[in-house]
Amino acid sequence: MTEPSDQFQRRRAKPLIREWRGEAAGSCHRYFLTSGERPGPWPERPEVRVEVAVVGAGLSGLTAAYHLRDREVAVLEAGPHPGGVCLTEDYEGIPYPAGSAYSYYPWNEAWAAWYRDLGLNVEGAVVEPPASALHYRGQWFADCYSAAGVRGLPFPPAVREGLARLAEDLAAWEEEWDPLGEEGFSRPELDRLTLADYLERERGLPPVATAFFAPYCASCLGALPHQVSAWAGLSFLMSEFSASARIIAFPEGNARLVAALVAALPRPPLLGQVVVELHPGRDRVRLLARGASGEALCVEAQAVILAGGKFAMQHLLPPESGWQGEDFRHFRYSSYVVAALLGPLEIQAPGYENWVMEEEAFSDFILSPRVAAAGTLRAMVLYAPQPFPTGRRQLLEQPAEAQARRLLAAVARRFPEAAAAVEEVRLYRFGHAQVVPYPGFLTLLRQEGRPRPVKGRLILAHSDLAGLPCVEAAILEGQRAARRAREVLSLGEGK
Q: Which residues bind ligand FAD (CB under 6 A)?
A: 24, 28, 55-61, 76-79, 84-86, 99-103, 254, 274-275, 307-309, 312, 336, 338, 430, 433-434, 462-463, 469-471, 473-474
User: Which residue lies nearer to ligand FAD by CB, 48 or 208?
Assistant: 48
Taking the complex as a whole, how short is the minimal distance between the CB of residue 357 and ligand FAD, in angstroms?
Answer: 19
- Shortest CB 205 distance to ligand FAD, Å: 26
Provide the 3-class DSSP secondary structure of residue 290. strand
Backbone angles phi, psi at 299, to 5 degrees: -120, 135
* 303 in Cβ contact with 457 (< 8 Å): yes
* Beta carbon nearer to ligand FAD, 339 or 489: 339
Q: Residue 50 or residue 474: which is nearer to ligand FAD going by CB? A: 474
Cβ proximity to ligand FAD: between 227 and 363 the closer is 363
Choose between 75 and 193: whose C-beta lies nearer to ligand FAD.
75
Q: Going by DSSP bridges, is the β-strand pair 132-136/353-356 parallel, antiparallel, or unpaired?
A: parallel
Nearest approach, Cβ of residue 430 and ligand FAD (Å): 4
In the complex, what is the shortest distance from the CB of residue 456 to ligand FAD, in angstroms, rounded to a whole number? 19
In the complex, minimum distance from the CB of residue 27 to ligand FAD, in angstroms, rounded to a whole number? 8
Q: Between 134 and 461, name the residue whose CB sits nearer to ligand FAD.
A: 461
Rounded distance, CA 451 to CA 322, Å? 10
Q: Under a CB-based contact definition with an 8 Å cutoff, are residues 293 and 40 in contact? A: no
Burial annotation 397-406 (CB, 10 A radius, 16+ → b, else e): ebebeebbeb
Nearer to ligand FAD, 24 or 421 (CB): 24
Type of residue found at 256: R
86, 255 Cβ separation under 8 angstroms? yes
Amino acid at 30: R
In the complex, minimum distance from the CB of residue 291 to ligand FAD, in angstroms, rounded to a whole number: 11
- Whole-number Å distance between alpha carbons of 394 and 391: 5
Could you tell me if 49 and 300 are in contact, meaning their C-beta atoms sit under 8 angstroms apart? yes
Is residue 243 within 8 Å of 171, Cβ to Cβ?
yes
> Smallest gap, in angstroms, from Cβ of residue 43 to ligand FAD?
17
Give which of 29, 37, 18, 28 is closest to 79, Cα–Cα: 28
DSSP string, 393-441: HHHHHS-HHHHHHHHHHHHHHH-HHHHHT--EEEEEEEEEEEE---TTH
Nearer to ligand FAD, 162 or 314 (CB): 314
Minimum distance, C-beta of residue 315 to ligand FAD, in the bound complex (Å): 8
Report the 3 state secondary structure along 1-41.
CCCHHHHHHHHHCCCEECCCEECCHHHHHHHHCCCCCCCCC
Q: Please identify, using beta-carbon distances, which residue of 209 and 367 lies nearer to ligand FAD.
A: 367
Q: Nearest distance from residue 173's CB to ligand FAD, in Å? A: 20
Q: Which residues contact 435 (CB under 8 A, 6 or more apart)?
A: 222, 309, 331, 332, 333, 463, 464, 467, 468, 469
Q: How far apart are CA 161 and CA 347, in angstroms?
A: 31
Question: What are the C-alpha distances in Å from 302 to residues 60, 103, 459, 462?
Answer: 19, 34, 11, 20
Q: What's the min distance (Å) between Cβ of 308 and ligand FAD?
A: 3
| CB closer to ligand FAD out of 162 and 391 | 391
For the CB of residue 420, give the shortest distance to ligand FAD in the complex, in Å: 26
Between 274 and 404, whose beta carbon lies closer to ligand FAD? Answer: 274
Report the C-alpha gap between 342 and 18 in whole angstroms. 11
Q: What are phi and psi of 334, to 5 degrees?
A: -95, 170
